[in-house]
Amino acid sequence: MSGHVLIDGAGVGGLTAALALARAGWSITLLERSRLKKEVGAGLQISPNASAILRELDVLPRLGTAALAPRAIHIRRSRDGATIARLPLANAERRWGAPYLLAHRGDLQSALLDTVAALPSIRIETECALTDFSATESGVMVTALRGAKSASFAADCLLGADGTRSLVRERLNPADATPHVARDFAWRALVKSDRLPLDLRQPESTLWFGAGAHIVHYPLRGGRITNIVAVFGGPNAFEANADLWAEPGDPREIAARFADWDRRVGALIATAEEWRIWPLIERSPPVNWSAGRVALLGDAAHPILPFLAQGAAQAIEDAAALAIFLKPNCDVPAALAEFGAARRVRIERVQRESRRQGLLYHLSGVPAACRDLAIRALGEERMVARYDWLYGGTPVGDAGKNRRFS
């Protein structure tokens, strides 16, 4: 009989890990506390480091035309809309070996679920929330709640893919600090593209730099809808248990915040009727990324600030890395320890670079003018080359150079 892995959480990280580990020969049970609504969330940028893995796992063909390959990242100045740089992405496949894609999070999740459904070695238990677990030298026992009923599961190991407020992380790291909630909030909206000014309806990911704030917008679903994310600091306070993805935002507040930006930004914001606010959360990888037969992946291990758009991408990389080390009949605790050690260096770099990118985006006055001059002086080729380590890198750095996950 093949070995059995329990994964707690069927988000992007948990589903991708299930696919990668099923390929490696494991049978998988995924526990998911929700009903798996497919339309949850907004846009996701799927960079080539992640799309390469999704392609290998047969997810990309299922995503199909729901994903859109932008021709460039267009960086503009808030004051007047002047172009600071246009970083070409059309040659992503040639440069990094895989496409740069824009997709609705719900479409990615559907494609992952369809791929999972085609594999008999993966079972999903929905509306089933992990409440406790214990591990011995030979396996793990998990207790969960399905409605009001208790259920238990046994497996060779447990992977906590249970997101930012991970119970598994808390149990592995009782002395860990709480997640760092940044000063900034992301306001997110989806709008019909035909309501936007023509100039803003391009097959690009557009990034507006401004003092203390930035805006990203890009088309989704063949260009029919546009995803807008505006990031700025605010007095908003979040309840400890608030739904991190569903807090409504007041359209008047965001309109006032961007009133002195280029008029096209005002028009963009005015098209959105409904805003959701997302607090930016970062947390360093824990001391105990794994302990014995239990390990963490995705946001449970390392919520990342979104300035490099790597939250989902790094969860996908974690999944591929797990399948490199965790093979049926291996020494499970040793494999999980190797996995965490191999991922830590890359994750810490992504978190560092994301933080730095955020500071650069929000400069004002003379420092902002110097930034714009420096970007222009660098030129497109050298600007794009600054992402080679990320988009063209392997999930486990040098340790994974000659090791494939499937």
Residues catalogued as catalytic: 218
Residue 335 makes contact with ligand FAD by CB under 6 A: no
At a CB cut-off of 8 Å and minimum separation 6, what does 280 contact?
A: 181, 182, 184, 185, 186, 231, 305, 306
| Cα 71 to Cα 51: distance, rounded to the nearest angstrom | 16
Among residues 3, 41, 286, 340, which is the contact residue for ligand FAD, using CB under 6 A?
41
| Cα 262 to Cα 273: distance, rounded to the nearest angstrom | 20
Segment 311 to 330, residues that bind ligand FAD, using CB under 6 A = 311-312, 315
Q: How far is the CB of 385 from ligand FAD (least distance, A)?
A: 24
Closer Cβ to ligand FAD, 10 or 269, answer by number = 10
Residue 395 makes contact with ligand FAD by CB under 6 A: no
Residue 42 makes contact with ligand FAD by CB under 6 A: yes
Residue 31 makes contact with ligand FAD by CB under 6 A: yes
Q: How far is the CB of 351 from ligand FAD (least distance, A)?
A: 12
At a CB cut-off of 8 Å and minimum separation 6, what does 343 contact?
A: 285, 289, 301, 317, 318, 321, 395, 396
Among residues 5, 66, 130, 323, which is the contact residue for ligand FAD, using CB under 6 A?
130
Residue 4 makes contact with ligand FAD by CB under 6 A: no
| Cα 142 to Cα 136: distance, rounded to the nearest angstrom | 12
Closer Cβ to ligand FAD, 161 or 265, answer by number = 161
Site string for ligand FAD, 135-174 (x = CB under 6 A): --------------------------xxx---x-------
How far is residue 255 from each of residues 59, 200, 279, measured CA to CA in Å?
A: 38, 17, 19
Residue 112 makes contact with ligand FAD by CB under 6 A: no
Which single residue is written with the structure tokens 């979040």?
238
Which amino acid appears at position 315 of this protein? A
Sheet holding 122-126: strands in order across?
A: 122-126, 27-32, 4-8, 157-160, 294-296, 290-291
Among residues 105, 217, 257, 346, which is the contact residue for ligand FAD, using CB under 6 A?
105
Q: How far is the CB of 246 from ligand FAD (least distance, A)?
A: 8
At a CB cut-off of 8 Å and minimum separation 6, what does 197 contact?
A: 264, 267, 268
Segment 43 to 102, residues that bind ligand FAD, using CB under 6 A = 43-44
Residues that bind ligand FAD (CB under 6 A): 8-14, 31-34, 40-44, 105, 129-130, 161-163, 167, 245, 298-300, 306, 311-312, 315
